[in-house]
Amino acid sequence: MDVKKILSQHIEIDGVSGEEIYSLVTETADSRLGDFSLPCFRFAKALKTSPVKIAEDLKEKFDGCEIVSEVRAVNGYLNFFVDNKVFSRGVLAEAAADGFGSSRAGNGKTICIDYSSINIAKPFHIGHLGTTAIGGSLYKIFKKLGYNVVGINHLGDWGTQFGKLIVAYDLWGDREKIEKGGVEALQEIYVRFHREEETRPELTEQARHWFALIEQGDKRALELFHWFKDITLKEVDKIYKRLNVTFDSYNGESFYNDKMQPVLDQLESKGLIKTSDGAKIVDLSAYDMPPCLLVKADGATLYATRDLAAAFYRKKTYDFDKSLYVVAYQQNLHFRQLFKVLELMGCDWAKDCVHVAYGMVSLAEGAMSTRKGNVVWLSKVLDKAVEKAMAIIDEKNPSLENKAEVAEKVGVGAVMFSALQNARIKDITFSLDKVLNFEGETCPYLQYTYARTGSVLSKAGNIVNARIMPDYSALDNDESKELVKLLNRYPSVIADAADKYEPSVISKYLIDLAQAFNRFYIAHRILDEPTARQIARLTLTKCVNKTIKDGLALLGIDVPEKM
Ligand code: ARG
């Protein structure tokens, strides 16, 4: 319910537009002074009188509306008290309806989101949690706002490591063992390659040769390349299912092999390419950046070359309004260079490309490196979290039904939430004990609160549906009022999260909502009240229940009905 809008429609000031009034009305921090307030200082010049007088005149002129119970003019402010019954009735009707929080803001607009973008034959490690969780959430948020969303997994499926893998496989690999062991088995021989390469430099040469064969389309080389890819995709698919993320395209780096030359030609014809020691670069010194290297002296293209081709391909294929890249901040320079080159090429849509950067995730145990093999596999972190969740359930509620299913939701949710809880740019140190604490600002706390609302509702049975007018005076208390106000904010919270590309806006909101519900739950009876009052409180509970579930779904997190 947009109270600001209703108020601004009832206020008329000469020479001031309704939009301006709307933008000036704010929710007050201290509800003893009123619920909403219009500061009148801005109008003093135009109306040639004091703000105090303006506020008083506006109060006199105010013709009243259902939502306002009282208006006061105080020191140049026009303060409004909202009629709590009318407000509660309106907000709860909206919050109880299907699709609460959705909008049509994005109708007719397309947004591309490049996220997760894992590397083939390499571990899906905890470093990819951020991009997968944040990108997956933005995908759902923009969908909810009516956008046409294209989720792109820009697979890292090109590069000399595939030559290395073939050499390693030929030397030490066993087809059956790898089929069974998956990426971890591939990883083992890859690590071995790096170890042995140090004393056997001919291996490096052989790897280069095999990669060249892949590039030339050699049958056996390609077959092995695709096999590595299949193994990886089959495995990550299981993780994506657990994390509730989906993609519309898996066009990875190799997809752009035949799409780079036209872009390079265009750069050449625009006079943007310089040759430096045989390499082709775009000089960016005028923009305080190192040159963007596009073709090495030996003719090899680079990550940036493929990203450039991908940007054009996406614009042509999807005609996006925005194109997001959810990638770690370590790649800040890469994206600044990429977008600058697009701009220099005269692409006016370069401004619609956004690097949605996020911070590092590290475990207390220390750094992660693929080469040395001390990798923190995401699937193992998830398994561990689920195992721990199971132990907690066994201790707290051993007779719970579907324990395994609940533990999966709690464990995986806890890990996901930890990546979505803070401003994305922050580095986080991950600790299972912390994210699985049921009392902190955590996912289990949200899930537990959800289950609590569910248990109240199921105890109430069918009362909510009875044909009795709810008595909203049962919500005339601070705890209920706070909850109703919070519920009313949900649509704007989603819009704000989208504007900032920041799922944490929703995470923080959900924590506030759950905490407010628990305060309400402790302070007030819900069930032992006259029916009409019960229904008002149950409706409120139902709306909280629905909103927690919906908000968590936007983060890609499932809720157990019982915990
Ligand atoms: N595969 C890359 C990595 O793991 C991320 C790719 C991000 N997307 C892109 N279009 N560059 O670092």
pLDDT tens-place string over residues 233-267: 999 999 999 999 999 999 999 999 999 999 999 99
Q: Whose CA is nearest to atom 6 of ligand 1?
A: 117
Looking up tokens 């001919």 gives: 202
| pLDDT at residue 32, rounded to an integer | 87
- From the CA of 335, give the closest atom in ligand 1: 11
Q: How far is the CA of 125 from the centre of ligand 1 (A)?
A: 14
Bridge partners of residue 26, in order along the sequence: 37
Buried b (16+ CB within 10 A) or exposed e, 74-95: eebbbbbbbbbbbbbbbbbebb
Report which secondary-structure segment, H or E, holds 325.
strand 322-328
Which atom in ligand 1 lies closest to the alpha carbon of residue 307? 10
Rounded Cα distance between 87 and 71, Å, is 16
User: What's the whole-number mean pLDDT along residues 168-180?
Assistant: 95
The most distant pair of C-alpha atoms in the chain lies apart, rounded to whole Å, by 91
Show the ligand 1 pocket: residues with CB < 6 angstroms: 114, 117, 119, 154, 156, 307, 310, 325, 327
Does 370 or 559 have the greater pLDDT score?
559
Lowest average pLDDT, out of 23-37, 308-322, 397-411, goes to: 23-37
Please give the distance, rounded to the nearest whole angstrom, from the Cα atom of residue 154 to the centre of ligand 1.
Answer: 6
Residue 365 pLDDT grade (very low, low, confident, very high; cuts 50, 70, 90): low
Q: How confident is the model at residue 433 (pLDDT cuts 50, 70, 90)?
A: confident
Helix count and strand count (H, E) for the chain? 20, 13
> Does 4 score more than 90 pLDDT?
yes
Looking from the CA of residue 328, the nearest atom of ligand 1 is 12
Q: Are 358 and 326 in contact (CB under 8 A)?
A: yes
Measured CA to CA, the distance from residue 203 to residue 182 in angstroms comes to 23
Q: How far apart are CA 208 and CA 197, in angstroms?
A: 13
CA of 124 to the centre of ligand 1 (A): 13
- Residue entry with tokens 């707290």: 396
pLDDT of residue 159: 87
Report how far ligand 1's centroid is from the alpha carbon of 550 (Å).
Answer: 30
Q: What is the C-alpha separation between 555 and 553, in angstroms, rounded?
A: 5
Q: What's the CA gap between 113 and 150, in Å, rounded?
A: 6
Average pLDDT over residues 495-515: 98
> What is the per-residue pLDDT for 370?
44
Q: Please give the distance, rounded to the nearest whole angstrom, from the Cα atom of residue 153 to the centre of ligand 1.
A: 9
Is residue 434 within 8 Å of residue 544, measured between CB atoms? no
Closest CA to 84 of 100, 70, 98, 96: 70
Q: What is the pairing mode between strands 279-282 and 273-276?
A: antiparallel
Q: What is the pLDDT of residue 256?
A: 96
Task: Round to the nearest angstrom and report the end-to-end CA distance of the chain.
Answer: 33
Return the amino acid letter for 15: G
Residue 443 has pLDDT above 90, yes or no: yes
Please spell the DSSP secondary structure of 176-205, one letter per residue.
HHHHHHHHHHHHHHHHHHHHHHTT-THHHH
Helix (H, G, I), strand (E, B) or coil at 546: helix
Is the pLDDT score of 367 beyond 50? no
In the numeric block, the tokens 């040769």 are attached to 209
Q: How far is the CA of 540 from the centre of ligand 1 (A)?
A: 44
Report the distance separating Cα 1 and Cα 517, nearest Å: 20
Neighbours of 558 (CB within 10 A): 18
- The structure's pTM equals 0.94
Does pLDDT of 489 surpass 90? yes
Mean pLDDT of the chain: 94
Instruction: Look at residue 371 and tell me whether its pLDDT is greater than 70.
Output: no
Atom of ligand 1 nearest to the CA of 156: 1
Of 179-183, 405-409, 428-432, give the lowest mean pLDDT range: 428-432
Q: Whose CA is nearest to atom 11 of ligand 1?
A: 307
Q: How confident is the model at residue 168 (pLDDT cuts 50, 70, 90)?
A: very high
Mutation to probe ligand 1, out of 113, 114, 116, 117 (largest number of atoms < 8 A from CB): 117
Average pLDDT, stretch 346-373?
A: 78
Q: 146 and 103 in contact (C-beta within 8 Å)?
A: yes
C-alpha to C-alpha distance for 234 and 215, rounded to whole angstroms: 24
Residue 294 has pLDDT above 90, yes or no: yes
pLDDT tens digits, one per residue of 24-74: 999 998 888 899 999 999 999 889 999 999 999 999 999 889 999 999 999
How far, in Å, is the centroid of ligand 1 from the Cα of 396? Answer: 42
Q: Whose CA is nearest to atom 4 of ligand 1?
A: 118
Q: How many CB atoms within 10 Å of residue 107? A: 10
What percent of the chain has a predicted confidence (pLDDT) above 70? 98
The reported pLDDT for the residue numbered 279 is 96
Query: In this predicted structure, what is the pLDDT of residue 517?
Result: 98
Probe ligand 1: pick from 331, 332, 353, 355, max atoms within 8 Å of CB? 331
DSSP 120: T
Report how far ligand 1's centroid is from the alpha carbon of 442 (Å). 29
Cα–Cα distance for residue pair 495/504, rounded to 1 Å: 12
Query: Could you tell me if 482 and 516 are in contact, meaning their C-beta atoms sit under 8 angstroms apart?
Result: yes
**Exposed e or buried b per residue across 14-45, where buried means at least 16 C-beta atoms within 10 angstroms of its C-beta:** eeeeeeebbebbeeeeeeeebbbbbbbebbee
**Can you tell me the distance from the alpha carbon of 405 to that of 411, in angstroms, rounded to the nearest whole number?**
10
- On the question of pLDDT at 368 being above 60, the answer is no
Residue of the CA atom closest to atom 5 of ligand 1: 117
Give the 3-state secondary structure of residue 548. helix
Q: What is the mean pLDDT of residues 452-457?
A: 97
Residue 213 alpha carbon to ligand 1 centre in Å? 24
Nearest Cα to Cα of residue 507 among 465, 548, 559: 548
Cβ 79 vs Cβ 34: under 8 Å: yes
